[in-house]
């Protein structure tokens, strides 16, 4: 005996209704959750916490700015201190050199030597032909005695491939120019100016000391030595 079948238009009619009901319930639930999130009560201290955090951020930013400025000040102070220390070291070195220089001539163990040129320094001026010289003269052979006389310079120079000697009068641009006077017991610095003719290349500088009594003393050095920060000398020749 066959089982009777329901008419075709009555099959599976329950499923669409169930799905629709579930969809409505889900929409209501989601809407309620959203409303609760939007209008539900907030923690009582949320605003206070936000203000505290904002104040803390501002405080930290101020600390960072203060530390940055302090670091800049410290760096500048350290740079200034290093510069001051370098100046003091240079000053100490200069004073020690002066002490060694004085002891060389007036100390109890100083070696005795006669009139000589200890140092000669040339400094260029604005005019390329003009040079200023500073000469340091020394003697301690006759302690207490005064050495007097005159200093003259001459220059050996190259001009058009040939060597020539420029005398003191030519360097001073004065006929029969007198030398630079000196008078001292142990040491003295004398200075003056010389003028080189255009087109010459100086090679060697010769210093001539003419004492009031006794033979003259000559010492020579290269132009490069004389134009360095501290000129060099060579043993005197008479």
Per-residue confidence of the chain (238 residues) as pLDDT tens digits?
A: 444 554 544 445 555 666 666 665 666 555 655 555 555 555 556 777 778 888 888 888 888 889 888 888 888 888 888 888 888 888 888 778 777 766 766 666 667 778 889 889 999 999 989 999 999 998 877 777 899 999 999 999 998 889 999 999 999 999 999 999 999 988 899 999 999 999 899 999 999 999 998 899 999 999 998 888 655 554 455 4
Write the CA distances from 38 to 29, 162, 169, integer angstroms.
14, 105, 107
- What pairing do the DSSP bridges indicate for beta strands 130-138 and 187-195? antiparallel
- State the pLDDT at residue 105: 63
Distance CA 189, CA 233 (A): 15
Distance CA 133, CA 232 (A): 13
Q: Are 155 and 171 in contact (CB under 8 A)?
A: yes
- State the pLDDT at residue 92: 87
The answer to whether the predicted template modeling score (pTM) of the entire model surpasses 0.75 is: no
- State the pLDDT at residue 235: 47
- State the pLDDT at residue 79: 87
Q: Please name which of 126, 151, 131, 121 lies closest in space to residue 195, comparing C-alpha atoms.
A: 131
Q: Are 179 and 85 in contact (CB under 8 A)?
A: no
Contacts of 122 (CB under 8 A, 6+ apart): 131, 132, 133, 205, 223, 226, 227, 231
């Amino acid at each position: 005996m066959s089982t009777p079948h329901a008419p075709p238009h009555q099959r599976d009619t329950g499923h669409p209704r169930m799905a629709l009901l579930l969809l409505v319930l889900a929409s209501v639930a989601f809407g309620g959750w959203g409303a609760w999130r939007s209008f539900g009560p907030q923690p009582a201290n949320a605003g206070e916490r936000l203000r505290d955090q904002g104040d803390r951020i501002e405080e930290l930013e101020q600390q960072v700015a203060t530390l940055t400025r302090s670091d800049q000040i410290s760096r500048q102070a350290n740079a200034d201190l290093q510069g001051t220390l370098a100046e003091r070291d240079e000053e100490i070195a200069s004073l020690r050199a002066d002490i060694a220089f004085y002891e060389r001539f007036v100390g109890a163990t100083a070696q005795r030597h006669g009139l000589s040129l200890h140092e000669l320094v040339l400094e260029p001026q604005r005019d390329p032909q003009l040079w200023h010289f500073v000469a340091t003269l020394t003697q301690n052979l006759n302690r207490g005695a005064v050495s007097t006389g005159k200093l003259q310079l001459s220059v050996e120079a190259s001009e058009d491939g040939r060597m020539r000697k420029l005398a003191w009068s030519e360097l001073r641009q004065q006929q029969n120019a007198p030398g630079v006077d000196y008078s001292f017991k142990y040491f003295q610095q004398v200075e003056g100016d010389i003028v080189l003719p255009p087109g010459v290349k100086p090679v060697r500088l010769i210093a001539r000391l003419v004492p009031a009594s006794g033979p003259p003393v000559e010492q020579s050095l290269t132009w490069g030595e004389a134009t360095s920060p501290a000129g060099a000398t060579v043993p005197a020749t008479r």
